[in-house]
Structure 1
């Protein structure tokens, strides 16, 4: 029989970040600190401009990657090296902060629904001071497939049932798939050996027969195993995310994620003195 083990089920914690953007934090809380190699997951969803219009003014990162997946709305990204990108509905931005980047994310709309997710993915120690860079992907650049059951898969990263996502990483081997199940449908998805991951239900509800468990909208399930089975009677939208654990020390101070307290202090000092931006520019 397939190996499948439930480790934890959680709901997010309402919070705010940036200049007061309201969001739901699912990973990176006191209830669920990390799912190695994933450090954080936020969902932002609101049709009230006051919840998001102030956006995320310039802020620093070092030592990890961010993945922003936008279901609806638009965000403008800028960084201290002059890079500019516009993320639209269905698009993904994969940013490697590496040695350091100072960037902003600002909504490009004054009304309407803004809905999306941001993941933080750890970098191995050997890559934490790598060159920072962006990869912007429009909705059209991300493969979407529909199987015989009508189940739609949007493959952002990794390998999903014969479909390769545009993002591939050697160390963490992330798999990121947006799965939409219509009513009365099911899917089985293999999980790479040794990977740890989670499923998050952002719409509807789904049943996991291996765990005899129903996951409802807003619930996240952490699991290990070699096969994930999902069924839905009424329909569901599910994010499937897994990765290869790095099993390295994680020391975090706000937007800096390194392997030791000394490296965190260096990152903080570099940012305060303006060296972080110069280091990133020099590497780039």
Structure 2
């Protein structure tokens, strides 16, 4: 059930540092994606490592899926707007993600999983976000949670704004998942034309907006559909004010930077090269969750 809450006001909004269009590529066994948050942005958007946007009604763009592959050292958050995807992993977890649902997986010390479509026609659309783990948690036990759309906390404002709170806390509503170390905030917001949404953000937290329907304006800067706006870290700003120029839907994602070294080799993200070598050896030796 969607909760009705009072709007809050931001005194000084962050601005747009830059717009990012992403890189179109193939991943998995041949899935067409737009990699919006790429490797060169990992430092700037710490603790986030990657954001992929996918969306097509052509089966050939997604039907091959993501067969078994390993991960270590971070968390994956898959948010499905439309479609059906089956998750299985080496920890014995299995789940079907459907319209509006989320799957949150902590790879920790290592897990092998697959994500395969359970449809051969129609629209498949959504996002996968990679969230780094603090060094002290990189070798933690793997963890998995399926969150159907009806279990996602949500709220609405009098101006017609509606917000799904996937992670974190805002406007007195706590999301489906909370993390102490990285303090992720992950919101899906729908905003009517001409209306604004004020969102408080902690100083020093990195944040970005990704528009997937319509167009919004942040501090005079237009953010069109299929663009990510990296928000600046202006020291006098206490949040962000977003105005919809037309009926729009967008993600707002923020988090506390870890400030730790990032060493990545494909699906392994650690802090040092030595830890990466060990991850590869452990995977080859079959030491990931079983």
Q: Give yes or no for TM over 0.5.
A: yes
Q: Tell me the C-alpha RMSD between the 2 structures.
A: 1.2
Structure 1 residue runs of 5 or longer lacking an equivalent are: none
Once the 2 structures are TM-superposed, how far is the Cα of residue 33 of structure 1 from its aligned partner? 4.0
Q: Which has the higher strand share?
A: 1
Alignment check: 8 A CA contact 1:188 1:229 kept: yes
Q: How big is each residue's C-alpha offset from its partner over 1:80-111, in whole Å with a ceiling of 9 and x where there is no partner?
A: 12211110110001100000000000011010
* Distance 1:141-1:171 versus aligned 2 partners, 3 A rule: same
Aligned positions of 1:25-104 closer than 5 A: 25-30=35-40, 32-34=41-43, 35-104=45-114
Return the alpha-carbon distance in structure 2 between the equivalents of residues 161 and 265 of structure 1.
44
Q: Using the TM superposition, name which of 77-86 and 92-101 deviates more.
A: 77-86
Structure 2 partner of 1:260: 272
Structure 1 partner of 2:221: 213
Return the alpha-carbon distance in structure 1 between the equivalents of residues 272 and 99 of structure 2.
38
Q: How big is each residue's C-alpha offset from its partner over 1:49-103, in whole Å with a ceiling of 9 and x where there is no partner?
A: 0110010000000000000000000110001122111101100011000000000
Q: Match of 1:54, SS?
A: coil
Structure 2 partner of 1:19: 29
Alignment check: 8 A CA contact 1:55 1:105 kept: yes
Return the alpha-carbon distance in structure 2 between the equivalents of residues 52 and 122 of structure 1.
26
TM-score with structure 2 length normalisation? 0.92
The list of structure 1 runs, each at least 4 consecutive aligned residues, that deviate by more than 3 angstroms after superposition, is none
Structure with larger RCO (C-alpha < 8 A, sep 6+): 2
Q: How big is each residue's C-alpha offset from its partner over 1:155-200, in whole Å with a ceiling of 9 and x where there is no partner?
A: 1110121111010000000000001111221111101222111000
Aligned residues: 275
Return the alpha-carbon distance in structure 2 between the equivalents of residues 137 and 231 of structure 1.
29
Alignment check: 8 A CA contact 1:66 1:121 kept: yes
Structure 2 residue runs of 5 or longer lacking an equivalent are: 1-10
1:8 equivalent in alignment to 2:37? no
Return the alpha-carbon distance in structure 2 between the equivalents of residues 47 and 245 of structure 1.
36
Aligned positions of 1:176-187 closer than 5 A: 176-187=186-197
Return the alpha-carbon distance in structure 1 between the equivalents of residues 157 and 205 of structure 2.
24
Structure 2 partner of 1:150: 160
* Distance 1:133-1:274 versus aligned 2 partners, 3 A rule: same
